[in-house]
Amino acid sequence: MRDEVSLSLPPPAPVSAVENIAATGTVGDPNDAADADACSSAPPAAASLDDPAYRSFIACLDYLDVNDVERIKTALDYACRAHVDQTRLSGEPYITHPLAVASVVAGWRMDADAICAALLHDVLEDAGIAKSELAERFNPAIAELVDGLSKLDKIEFSSYQEAQAENFRKMMLAMARDLRVVLIKLADRHHNLHTMSAIRADKRQRIALETLEIYAPIANRLGLNKMFRDLQDTSFCLLHPLRARVLARAVAAFQGDNKELISRIQSSIRHKIAEVGIQCAQVFGREKSLYSLYSKMTHKHRRFAHIQDIYGFRVILPDIPSCYLALGALHTLYKPVPGKVKDYIAIPKANGYQSLHTTLIGPTGAPLEVQIRTGEMHHVAREGVAAHWLYKDAGRSGADLHIRTHKWLHSLLEMQSGDSSEFFENVKIDLFPDEVYVFTPKGHIINLPHGATPVDLAYAIHTDVGNCCIAARINHESVPLRTELKNGDLVEIITAAHAHPNPVWLGYVRTGRARSRIRHFLRTVHNEESAALGERLLNQELLHRGVSPGKVPAAAWEHVIKAGGNHSAREVFTDIGLGKRLAEVVASRLLADDTAFTASRVGTLTVRGAEGMAIQLAKCCQPIPGDPIIGSIKKGQGLIIHAHDCPVIRKSRSHEPNKWIDVEWEPDPGRLYDVRIILEVENARGMLALVAAAISQSGSNIENLTMEGDAEKHCSLLNFILQVSSRAHLAQVMRNLRRIPQVMRVHRVTAHGE
């Protein structure tokens, strides 16, 4: 497998001294393979002064002072002793892996603490060393970094997916506190991918797929373009070795066949830029990565021969004005493709990337893509946030990137409510942005993922704006909230103080932040409503037994709370409201009468139908005030209200009578309810207007309307969903409709159209 990968790709882009270590042939990594390496008798893994990997590692520490280098050597010696009896699956000493990871980190010119943490990143998991020992031996900062990189191996999970999600959450939250955690993790994953030939094929593919879905997008989100491309290409080779090898050969053949043409285009670009007075331009060709070519072929269903932009060019210039001047010069050299000019200098990407992009029609008629940027932008484009350490003169763009990155990292903290799988899902959504840039009325630019809606923008501005959002205007035009935003849209969010999120929004929001905030609100409101319903049900049950709710002893409550695994009486109420516990059972236990609950029945419950999610009107029969009703507690859903004569529940009522609760309407519920009616009318001009006028005069609203024609009977069926306040109100509406001469029949539709 490894031979195929080596043949199918050019050598992976070196990340500082790691290339020297990777060349030693170290293979197999237990850390990210989810299993620890089998410990076997092995020679001491102490670092040797004659070891090329060791010499290369020490050589790349030349930017640190002597004291820091000594600390790193101490950490290396400690790691050697911790892993002394451990080998990798290939048989190599285990220390080769931490040493390679530390070399990548040192190549980014990170601080001594980060390099020490990279050397020690496996000692908590694989050597059984305590976090407190690391803090005492080195310092608390290093201990925190190592802990953030360690998996939760002491907790039992029900599935691999659950363990993966929880470990990912731990890493991302540690990353939000300290960016160095994810940089070390990416270096760790990078070395693992390049040394996997000894790992079982199914595990190797699982790790490669996880890298494509999670770690490569994280590298891209942080602007680590070189790392991002290498993770993608190496994972692609591990997942599809034959396809990668064939594609690599095709790319090599293309380069050989077009070598003279590529050289001629480079020379033309260089000469044209010199004509406008820019003498120090660097022009070089760049080939698209294997994975990006493969993705384009699969997404567009094209063969390699039909992909035209296989090769591109990059122009590096001294300053920003030169970039725009060069862009104009190139547009006079070759014709630009309309709509393919992108200015990422004025509006940088979310990961800090800046460049001018233009697509030109080359001398052969094929399109060629050119990127124009400054040297500083080039550094940031390759190394992303690592440029902060790598290039101390990264300037304003580096600082802006750091600020932008920390904003994204801290937004992760807002998404951690709920379970780990939900958090995992929300972060994965944010890792595939394909940005759209929109403007607020104050002129602020906000980047959102492709397909984002005004609701996503509202939550990007502030959680309170999202929660109170009721409408939006795009370019001064009112639009539905599900409208997809486009580049350059001017978007205004309209809010109302008493508005709240709609569960329907979850069907079309695109950002993890919006999805997380909506779910959090709905979960909180649902629990509050369920607690209120549960308290009402329990109080009525206690009163039915002749006991005032306030007279229940505190000791009885404490016993019930502890026995049910709850933390408070409110949680007991919530469980009752959600149908997880029966009010009769809780009341019996509060009164220390465990045999009485089967014969007891709660008294009649009064409902308005507007309580919220904890009390819901059944969709099958759509009961309205005036209809005799009955309720059923459904686990996890609360109280569902049905009409007494609803045929859907007929069987359940006869077989499980104890699950049903008598309910009645509040005398004046004070709201409107949906009800469906069908009119059979003659085909006549103005018929719909007459019907709509009659409904309006009756004080009812039309929520929905569909029509069906019957040519044989010369009539039409009008299906209305109306809003009425009660059964009496509906009767008045139907009387007014029957007074219209052309109306042949009117009837209400209940369960399943009956």
502-557 confidence digits (pLDDT tens): 878 888 888 878 888 887 787 777 677 778 777 887 887 788 778 888 888 888 88
Residue 285 sits in the same domain as residue 327: yes
Tokens representing 85 are 């009896």
Residue 622 sits in the same domain as residue 689: no
41 pLDDT band (50/70/90 cuts)? very low
Q: Which is catalytic among the residues 32, 122, 126, 541?
A: 126
pTM above threshold 0.85: no
DSSP string, 556-573: HHHHHHHHTT-SSHHHHH
pLDDT tens digits for range 355-404? 999 988 888 887 888 999 998 888 887 777 666 555 544 445 555 666 66
Return d(Cα 278, Cα 272) in angstroms, integer. 9
Tokens representing 208 are 């490669």
**Of 477, 510, 543, which marks where a domain is finished?**
510
Residue 661 sits in the same domain as residue 680: no
Residue 325 sits in the same domain as residue 184: no
Domain-embedded: residue 109: yes
In the residue annotation, 754 being an active-site residue is answered as no
Task: Assess contact for 468 and 482: CB atoms under 8 A.
Answer: no
Return d(Cα 182, Cα 172) in angstroms, integer. 8
Query: What value does the mean pLDDT take over residues 232-258?
Result: 86
Euclidean distance between the first and the last CA atom of the chain, given in angstroms as a whole number: 65
Residue 110 sits in the same domain as residue 214: yes
Q: Which is catalytic among the residues 32, 125, 230, 575?
A: 125
Domain-embedded: residue 398: no
Which residue carries 């959504």 as its tokens?
A: 429
Sheet containing 715-724, strands listed edge to edge, beginning at the edge strand earlier in sequence: 701-710, 715-724, 673-682, 743-749
- Which of 109-113, 557-561, 650-654 has the weakest average pLDDT? 650-654
DSSP string, 393-426: T-HHHHHHHHHHHHHHHHHHHTT-SS-HHHHHHH
Burial 367-397 (b: 16+ CB within 10 A, else e): bbbbbbbbebbbbbbbbbbbbbbbbeebeeb
In the residue annotation, 113 being an active-site residue is answered as no
Top pLDDT among 455 and 560 is at 455
Which residue carries 């882009």 as its tokens?
A: 13
Q: Is the pLDDT of residue 46 over 50?
A: no
Task: Assess contact for 589 and 560: CB atoms under 8 A.
Answer: yes
**Of 644, 665, 686, which marks where a domain is finished?**
665
**Of 206, 239, 272, which marks where a domain is finished?**
239
Task: Supply the range of the domain harboring residue 275.
Answer: 248-384
Which residue carries 């451990």 as its tokens?
A: 86
Into how many domains does the chain fold?
5
121 pLDDT band (50/70/90 cuts)? confident
Residue 719 sits in the same domain as residue 638: no
Domain-embedded: residue 589: yes
